[in-house]
Amino acid sequence: MFYGTIAFGQVVRVDTFRLPESEHFKNIQSDNMNFPVVRSGDKRIDSLINGDLKNRFTGNEYPNETLDSTLTKWAGDQIVFLDFQVTYNENGILSIKISAEGCGAYCSNWTDYFNYSTSNGKWLKISDVINNVAEFKTRVNKDKKEQYAEQRQELKEMLNDKDSGLDQSTYEWALENYENCEKNSDFESFAIYPDRLEIIEDCYLPNAIKNLTPIIELKYEFSEIGEELKIKN
């Protein structure tokens, strides 16, 4: 394992902590076992961000252990891919997304999103970057409702297409999952990019119907929501 440095602007830098390869998955892991480590030059802020990032990502499984120990135990012989991308590092805000893939009975992949203030090390909520949260949520809910309606219509068209292979019971199963996803959306899962804010709407379907996963994209250009933003570009 080693640390490699990736520089992003003058505010903070993000180092790479590389996990040791698992013997079980050695042939397919290559060098894609990377986790971010924030270096702001302020030890207190670094401790706050890195500790919170580590614990949030690993589900708080080993809250009092070091990054090295936590990730090694957490990854075990099941994580086959782990990597990250810094999507925003300006104006005292750091936005990182971390993607992983684990393999047990089935392989599954996911991406988590993390946003921090680099001036105080605190986790950012949507209210920290948007001025009128209630109004913004109304807009997002409208867009989300429209997109789920479109996805349901596409699913209905698949059901009516005899060549699609979609039967009535699978159709109803997928619809039930769509409804649950729409009801349980989390506005606090978001990502910041240089030109936009994205509310993350992940709808994880069971492996048997994963091919029916709805595609919901809630992307808002800064130029569209300028007056609602607390971010000053």
Domain boundary among 86, 103, 124: 124
The reply to whether 66 and 158 lie within a common domain is: no
120 lies in which domain range?
Answer: 3-124
Structure tokens at 181: 């996803």
Phi, psi of 14 (to 5 degrees): -120, 115
The reply to whether 10 and 106 lie within a common domain is: yes
Q: From CA 202, how far away is CA 213, in angstroms rounded?
A: 9
173 in a structural domain: yes
The reply to whether 140 and 209 lie within a common domain is: yes
233 in a structural domain: no
The reply to whether 54 and 165 lie within a common domain is: no
157 in a structural domain: yes
CA distances to 128, 157, 171, 172, 220 from 163, rounded to whole Å, are 49, 11, 14, 18, 37
Q: From CA 20, how far away is CA 111, in angstroms rounded?
A: 21
The reply to whether 106 and 148 lie within a common domain is: no
Q: Please indicate whether residue 77 or residue 48 has the higher confidence score (pLDDT).
A: 48
Domain boundary among 124, 157, 189: 124
The reply to whether 111 and 162 lie within a common domain is: no
Q: For the chain, give me the number of helices (H) and strands (E)? A: 5, 9
The reply to whether 120 and 105 lie within a common domain is: yes
The reply to whether 112 and 148 lie within a common domain is: no
Domain boundary among 93, 124, 155: 124
The reply to whether 87 and 30 lie within a common domain is: yes
Question: Each residue of 88-124: pLDDT tens digit?
Answer: 999 899 999 999 998 887 888 999 999 999 999 999 9
Q: From CA 38, how far away is CA 104, in angstroms rounded?
A: 30
pLDDT score for 141: 95
- The model's pTM: 0.88
pLDDT score for 77: 74
Domains held by the chain: number:
2
The reply to whether 180 and 224 lie within a common domain is: yes
The reply to whether 143 and 108 lie within a common domain is: no
Among 29-33, 52-56, 82-86, where is mean pLDDT lowest? 29-33
Q: From CA 184, how far away is CA 92, in angstroms rounded?
A: 30
Average pLDDT of the residues in 48-57: 97
Spell out a b/e string for 52-63, using b for 16 or more CB atoms within 10 Å of the CB, else e: ebbbebbeeebe
The reply to whether 115 and 146 lie within a common domain is: no
